[in-house]
Structure 1
Amino acid sequence: MNKSEYWVISRIRDTVENARKRYHSIVWIHFWLTMSRCITGFMLYPYLVIYMTEQLGASAVAAAGAISFPPLIALFFKLWAGNISDRFGRRPVFLYSPLMRFFVLIAMVFATEVWHFYVLLVLNGLCLNLFAPAMHAQIADVVSEEKRMEAYSLNNIAINIGISVGPLLGVAVYQLNPPLIFGAEAIVALLTVWVVYLKIPETLPQSNEQTAVPAKQPVWLGLASHWPLYLLILLTVPIYMVEMQINSTLPLYLKEHFVDYLLVYGILRTVTGVLTAVLQMPITLWSKRWKSTHVIFAGYLLLVGYGLIYGFAPFFWMLVVAECCWVMSDMLLDPRLKKVVSMMAKPQVRARYFSLYDLNLSLGKMTAPVLGSVVLVSYGGQMLFGGLAALLLLTGVFQLLLISRILAVKTKQMPEASEEVG
């Protein structure tokens, strides 16, 4: 080994060691668990409709309904899911939720009717909706405010690694033996239980832990007292409406402009996953010098650019630019908005705040595919993506005003948070 090779290896080793020490061990555990769960999850979900139609003889409509039904149930479940973690602790949720998923996924291997998947996918979704807010709340429990954005960025990297790797592995496993996909995710669920049992302690704030169960706090948070959270959720729904167009109507739109539209779609999706996995942390560290209001508004403007390019310049290289706008927006908005939610929430309601915050995804899943397909068929892609761009510009302005108010109130309560106020 020459000196230059030794220097490169030493630098890589030092960088990895510094990153390991920078974040709490719980953050890294959740990173690896999230990455594993997303790899197997994205091995499974893109092929569920195909599995139900080919293996069970279901109609395309019935199979699609099995995918769309769980978000509807989750919409109501999220109103109180976070209460479980806030009342009884993070650790019980981390143990029992993946254990239940293990049995659900094993049951999918032996499912023989479409209605079996309606039931099992709902149970699977309920387990995930218990786990995710508890995980985000635990990160806020153990990470200081100044590093929370970085911790949530690591979580976003793990998800995008799953997006990049999972579908390709899913193709190979599906061609080999389709039920193996369910088995792979079941193994990851069981591995999660084992890791949590050995490595993750309870982190529920002590004052809350002593009073949580006797206090019998309300299951869901009232609108009058927590209206900033509900308004923030409403203003983020258009972001997920755009994301759901990517997963639903976008292939149909590309079909109008490209012969090899599936190849184009696959390239664009790969670009977004790889760029996010590689650039998320550098972008997060670089954007730390900006005010939260500036970062969030910039994220909305990038999404406006995404919509305008897709609506009015659907040429391949322009679409690559649009995907870069999407990637930048996702890297800026997701960690920063989660940090704002963690700052808004008092320790005793953190999990409930994150559970409710996830309503934006459920609302996007419920509304975007149907509305998007109707607008696309009736009025065309310019109206669909141009309309989304206009909606994002409007909601971005209101979001800027809302977060300015939220952070101003936070600064009065905690003067050290003044650096976040734009």
Structure 2
Amino acid sequence: MTKKSRPSNKENRAGWIRDTVVKVRDRYHPIVWVHFWLTMSSCITGFMLYPYLVIYMTEQLGASAVAAAGAISFPSLISMFFKLWAGNISDRFGRRPVLMMAPMLQFMVLIGMIFANEVWHFYVLLTLNGLSGNLYLPAENAQIADVVSEKQRTEAYALNNVAINIGATLGPLLGIAAYHLNPPLIFCAEAAIALVTATVVYFKIPETLPKEDQDSTGQTKGKVLPGLGAHFPLYLLILFAVPVYMVEMQMNSTMPLYLKTQFVDYLLVYGTLRTVTGILTAVLQMPVTLWSKRWRAERVVMIGYSLLVAYSLFYGFTPFFWLLVIAEFCWTLTDMLLFPRLKQIVSVMADPQVRARYFSLFDISLSVGKMTAPVLGSVVLVQYGGKALFGGLGVLLLLAGVCQVILVSRVLSADRRKKEQTPEMAG
């Protein structure tokens, strides 16, 4: 009688890996995974492009630092007004048409960038590129909320954050290589990904906006903005999030100029710091999200803002490479904890028929950050130096963080009371 052969350790490891992959894949809706891959691809090319636009315009087109930063800020001014009704398009006509139309607009804009030879060309083209993103992102976030339960939304948005940070890991270093080889290659790469995105949406993403929500939205289609009153907490949430995005925009605009004053190989230092951040987030995002799910949102917001204050102080007052790595770790934890939780809070605040509009309006905080941070940051940096720039951001973040914690606590307490009272009212 022959003994039954036992599986080897190698086979056991392979089986465990296979089972783990299947569990992770099945944990999230297929549409969430499609958005994961599309987001990762577009962020790789996006991080190849945006950090080097200021340098491209100053070195290739002879623009001043302020004029080049203005080309990044100006689209945010236009986008801020566009966002007032951009989400309404997805709520009225569905997610799928918007998710196909926006990348096609982006494709045409990026082809135009290849041939742009004046700074004002970039003012126009970056504005159009920003409008395409303002259409796409609220539809994407709303679609994730359409297909994912409330309890799992933080995880789903965290997974999307992993994709963003994989882009942040690979994009800057690829951008350095492309910039030294042939700068227009960066525009070609992002244009190709935009075309791929539109194609994948056409074949892989169905419509997810429920018919009853389409009907409800149609009845209120004349209302571009949700009114004040009950929706006032959303506007406060937007306001207090602006300093966070001001810090993020320093990374993508004035940070290379600041590092240029501190390091000889500033581009290598910048690319390395961004890569460290991306790797840490890509690896730790989901474990940190699953671990912190038991934390109340108020605690997550408090920790996130506190880490950003530390980040600003490190950059402003101790600009040494290894301390900047620690600062990047502070940013990484903020990125992993704060952004997915804020999106989950927005999804809880919004009724289904205005879900995309809420996400679109929340993105105004990003627009204001983009509009103010590059120009103000470059002016403060040139006139007063890095200590004034990052020290000022640290104070602003401290004040905004305290207000945001109080706001989130009150909003979610009201939501919990409402859910507790609903069964009683039904009975």
Partner secondary structure for residue 335 of structure 2: helix
Percent of aligned positions that are identical: 69
| Aligned position for 2:3 | none
1:390 to 2:395 alignment: yes
Q: How does 1:175-190 map to 2 (within 5 A)?
A: 175-190=180-195
| Aligned position for 2:53 | 48
1:211 to 2:216 alignment: yes
| Aligned position for 2:200 | 195
With 324-333 and 241-250 compared, the bigger mean Cα shift is at 241-250
Q: 1:25 aligns with which of 4, 13, 30?
A: 30
The separation in 2 between residues aligned to 1:69 and 1:232, in whole angstroms, is: 23
Length-normalised TM-score, structure 2: 0.90
The separation in 2 between residues aligned to 1:382 and 1:48, in whole angstroms, is: 24
Deviation of 1:382 (Å): 3.5
The separation in 1 between residues aligned to 2:321 and 2:355, in whole angstroms, is: 43
Partner secondary structure for residue 219 of structure 1: coil
1:410 to 2:412 alignment: no
1:231 to 2:225 alignment: no
The separation in 2 between residues aligned to 1:54 and 1:252, in whole angstroms, is: 13
| Aligned position for 1:67 | 72
Contact 1:88 1:213 in 2 (8 A): no
Deviation of 1:255 (Å): 4.7
Q: How does 1:209-288 map to 2 (within 5 A)?
A: 209-288=214-293
Contact 2:172 2:275 in 1 (8 A): no
Q: 2:133 aligns with which of 128, 131, 146?
A: 128
Deviation sequence 1:145-170 (CA, Å, 0-9, x none): 11100100111111111111122223
Contact 1:24 1:143 in 2 (8 A): yes
Deviation of 1:199 (Å): 1.4
Contact 2:73 2:372 in 1 (8 A): no
The separation in 1 between residues aligned to 2:183 and 2:330, in whole angstroms, is: 36
| Aligned position for 1:156 | 161
The amino acid of 1:172's aligned partner reads A
| Aligned position for 1:298 | 303
Deviation sequence 1:35-61 (CA, Å, 0-9, x none): 111112222233434555666666665
The separation in 1 between residues aligned to 2:260 and 2:227, in whole angstroms, is: 46
Q: 1:37 aligns with which of 37, 42, 46?
A: 42
- Judged with a 3 Å threshold, the aligned counterparts in structure 2 of structure 1 residues 413 and 163 are, in CA distance, closer, same or farther, namely same
The separation in 1 between residues aligned to 2:384 and 2:110, in whole angstroms, is: 41
| Aligned position for 2:347 | 342
The separation in 2 between residues aligned to 1:256 and 1:115, in whole angstroms, is: 28
Deviation of 1:396 (Å): 1.4
The separation in 2 between residues aligned to 1:95 and 1:342, in whole angstroms, is: 23
1:145 to 2:150 alignment: yes
Contact 2:73 2:371 in 1 (8 A): yes
The separation in 1 between residues aligned to 2:70 and 2:308, in whole angstroms, is: 29
Deviation sequence 1:331-375 (CA, Å, 0-9, x none): 100000000000000001111111111111111122223333444
Partner secondary structure for residue 226 of structure 1: helix
Partner secondary structure for residue 225 of structure 1: helix
The separation in 2 between residues aligned to 1:11 and 1:372, in whole angstroms, is: 49
- Judged with a 3 Å threshold, the aligned counterparts in structure 2 of structure 1 residues 215 and 357 are, in CA distance, closer, same or farther, namely closer
The separation in 2 between residues aligned to 1:299 and 1:407, in whole angstroms, is: 18
1:97 to 2:94 alignment: no
- Judged with a 3 Å threshold, the aligned counterparts in structure 2 of structure 1 residues 21 and 120 are, in CA distance, closer, same or farther, namely same
- Judged with a 3 Å threshold, the aligned counterparts in structure 2 of structure 1 residues 194 and 325 are, in CA distance, closer, same or farther, namely same
The separation in 1 between residues aligned to 2:171 and 2:183, in whole angstroms, is: 14
Residue ranges of structure 1 left out of the alignment (5+ in a row): 418-422
Q: 1:351 aligns with which of 353, 356, 360?
A: 356
The separation in 1 between residues aligned to 2:140 and 2:398, in whole angstroms, is: 31
With 278-287 and 182-191 compared, the bigger mean Cα shift is at 182-191
Residue ranges of structure 2 left out of the alignment (5+ in a row): 1-6, 423-427
Deviation sequence 1:42-99 (CA, Å, 0-9, x none): 2223343455566666666554433332112111111111010111111110121112
Deviation of 1:264 (Å): 3.2
Deviation of 1:216 (Å): 2.5
| Aligned position for 1:362 | 367
Q: 1:83 aligns with which of 76, 81, 88?
A: 88
With 46-55 and 84-93 compared, the bigger mean Cα shift is at 46-55
The separation in 2 between residues aligned to 1:415 and 1:107, in whole angstroms, is: 54
Contact 1:235 1:399 in 2 (8 A): yes
Deviation of 1:301 (Å): 1.3
| Aligned position for 2:328 | 323
- Judged with a 3 Å threshold, the aligned counterparts in structure 2 of structure 1 residues 60 and 409 are, in CA distance, closer, same or farther, namely closer
Superposition RMSD in Å = 2.4
The separation in 2 between residues aligned to 1:274 and 1:128, in whole angstroms, is: 25
Deviation of 1:113 (Å): 4.2
Contact 2:66 2:375 in 1 (8 A): no
With 28-37 and 192-201 compared, the bigger mean Cα shift is at 192-201
